[in-house]
Structure 1
């Protein structure tokens, strides 16, 4: 509840507060798999906090090219470059006096999934291509470290998972909207008792456990999704409890792999169309 209230409050206040922030993203709330724009407002930067002197340099040379350097939720998939030679793809676009931006799909740009993005947020700074000190100016040619918390967007997709951030022993809800099923004709127009889920619990890259063979899924009541009306189906579970009788002592789930099944329907040849849910390890 606290998280929902915070998200609503943040959404309402976004446009009123964005221009007072050193770094922010739009849109917010954010879809991890859609484009967002990261803004860095050097008007709000204060030189000397962390050996940073970029603001004064930009005051003197306002047309100087500025680059993004970022490390959370991960380093960029394509890299930052070197401190004294930023990668060209890290160049920011100047959109106003000392205001810079970059647009990207966060899961692609960082090579992470949604839960990692929402758990860690975006940490970054702005710098010149060479971030070392510039003659005639104090400190390095960079801003102070900046951080943006990323608020998850409410889901309206074919499959929605709640909460966005979860541990293996948290309640986990999966909602499937059959009215948005366009990939597989044999899954369309499900009746109230037609929707089931195949589950695979992953411990690590080499260890996984099938909850039940796909051919037997329909004999497990806990694998049946409940119709909630308007073509939507839902199931709620605690992953670690569900797999408790299958996991070995000391093992913990890191991911849940799953896909929707229907008795009498067979997926086309090839790898199954797994959806993947990452589980946080906060120990």
Structure 2
């Protein structure tokens, strides 16, 4: 390859700097606004880049009322349980569909792929959840979206590209499908499982529309509370009389920060698997 010219190197540096600024600026303004008082917010017309009078009043206001804390715990439980169940169901179905001797395997795969092209719609989905008796239960946020067709295809493609000699050797030793899956396939699939698990976790964590349809307000997860704050300011009583209060803009941004922190803490540990897992499952096969 030819050595890039000076103009090319300068252009790359400029492009990287521009992308970095466009990426960091929103995070910085959100965090800074959440730490600002009313004076800083008024002087900056709503979005503060560097708070001159930093304060934690917004976070104290949020956690004093208990609404956000309870919603945060609900979101954590929903995300953890949903991700585990979705991974288990996706891995089991992907392993079965990756076996070439599965009866009606192609038909089942086509049915799964069909769901990527056509969604049932809001009214049919609501009627199905209602008929199953899942209204106002957290199962309504998990069971209807338990398996993602895209994630299923990614995991299936990965399984199909594993060396077939490993499966043959395990069967010669008398291992069944469940033992092959748990002792042979899963230890070799940490990368793709980490990526798919991240996809599921982010989807469960950020989902609010199903909660708005199926749950009462006393069971809302954090994403729904965040939506209420952003759209309506501060619709919930997070602070009682005599407690610390903060500007509505600071409270809104503080809720955004709280909703971002768990994903930001998990993502760095899975980043090294991200590109490898996606490319292995999507390109091969």
* TM-score of the alignment, normalized to the shorter chain, above 0.5: no
Greater strand content: 1
Greater helix content: 2
